[in-house]
Amino acid sequence: MSHQIPNLKPLFPIGRCRMTAFDFINQIDWVYRGLGIPTLYGVLSILANKSVFFIGERGTGKTRTINLIPPIGGTEISKWDTFTLEELNRYCCKLAGELDYIENKHMVFKVEDFSTLSDYHREIFLTVCSKVSSDGNYVHSTKQLPCLDIRNCKLTLLIAIQPRLYSLLCDRYTQWESMSSGRFTKFLLLNPLRSETVNVPLVPTLPRKITHKVTLHENEVNLDALRAMFREHTSTGRATLYARDYATAMARFVGAETVEQQHVDLFHKLFFPYLNSFAVLQGAEDLDSPVRVSSGRMKLLGEIGKYSDYVGNQKLARDLHVTERSIQRVAKQLLEVGLIEKPSPHAGIIRLSEPLRQHFKWYSGFLR
């Protein structure tokens, strides 16, 4: 009796030639369709030391993406379901070893679902993480908390969060709004490639060698597209740093010694649809108001983004537990910014815009 043996080649790219970005994406999409690109963005964010909000409704894969990001040499990755000073002290004591402080570490904090943190834990998280992210230091050393002395450390935050909670926290906490607009990129999870939910303990394989030192000659590469993309997520000055650091991270990932234009162009092609989708949803009511993004728009776009073609307003209303009129109202706003389209003005069906669908068609085309 013969048995059909599945092709496991995409799960073991390390045994072949130097790993490419597509190798990494493929091994994840072999199991979790549509999550390879988001996971790669998480890996590159760690290499670039840039924090990320992965924003999506239930079922979009944001928590799975956080879990799929593998350990990276030279970093200390930890997961947080709660966040207290006592827990942070235990974590620091573990890293400190025989010392009573930690120094020159690159810490990576994963939060699989920010909604699981209580208001108390969120306040502590914001206080500590904003301090470490901004200047690399945090001191709260006491007799009970002997190791809470963080010196000259990097901190990368990878946070999965739902649209409504993200918007709510921006309104409630000044620190949150400041961190979000100044030190985070916002990755909006869209996944029309998704298939049936599975639960496989996959740990993606990283390249054998991630280059530590990469040379960037800014007169030889054009970073304008990346600058423009990141300018919608942070300040103009920081957008240049983000462009440099992410281009360098991409070159490091593929084992290059010099950043080339192909690394910049590939980064833009892979991630622009997700980052730009968040960017165009932002807006302010007037010059005196802060820039905000509607949770309703993010929520509806994420739901539409689960489908590869048209989906009816009635189904969207039923799945999101709102009225069809509410769907029509928010869909009109998404139509105005070009993120979705309809076959005719009065049609009751909508889908992702042509540019977004072309991206996912290209994405699907290079998957094995």
Please give the Cα distance from 10 to 29 (Å, whole number). 9
pLDDT the model gives residue 4: 40
Closest CA to 210 of 241, 245, 246, 256: 256
As given in the structure block, the two tokens for residue 353 are 């815009």
d(CA 353, CA 294): 19
Tell me whether residue 34 is exposed, middle or buried, using C-beta atoms within 10 angstroms of its C-beta: 0 to 12, 13 to 18, 19 or more.
buried
Which pLDDT value is given to residue 300?
93
Where are the domain boundaries for CATH 1.10.10.10 in the chain?
285-363
Mean pLDDT computed over every residue of the chain: 86
pLDDT given for residue 1 in this prediction: 42
Q: How many CB atoms lie within 10 A of CB 350?
A: 23
Is residue 176 within 8 A of residue 127, CB to CB? The reply is no
Collapse the DSSP code of 3 into the 3-class scheme (helix H, G, I; strand E, B; otherwise coil) and give the result.
Answer: coil
| Segments of the chain assigned to CATH 3.40.50.300 | 14-282
Q: Residues of the chain whose pLDDT is less than 70?
A: 1-17, 175, 197-198, 283-292, 368
CATH code reported for the domain at 14-282:
3.40.50.300
CA distance 12 to 23: 9
SS3 of residue 66 by DSSP: helix
Amino acid at 368: R
Residue carrying structure tokens 């496989």: 200
Q: Which CATH class is domain 285-363?
A: mainly alpha
pLDDT at 3: 40
Query: Can you read off the two tokens belonging to residue 118?
Result: 């209580």
Asked if 73 and 210 touch (Cβ cutoff 8 Å), the reply is yes
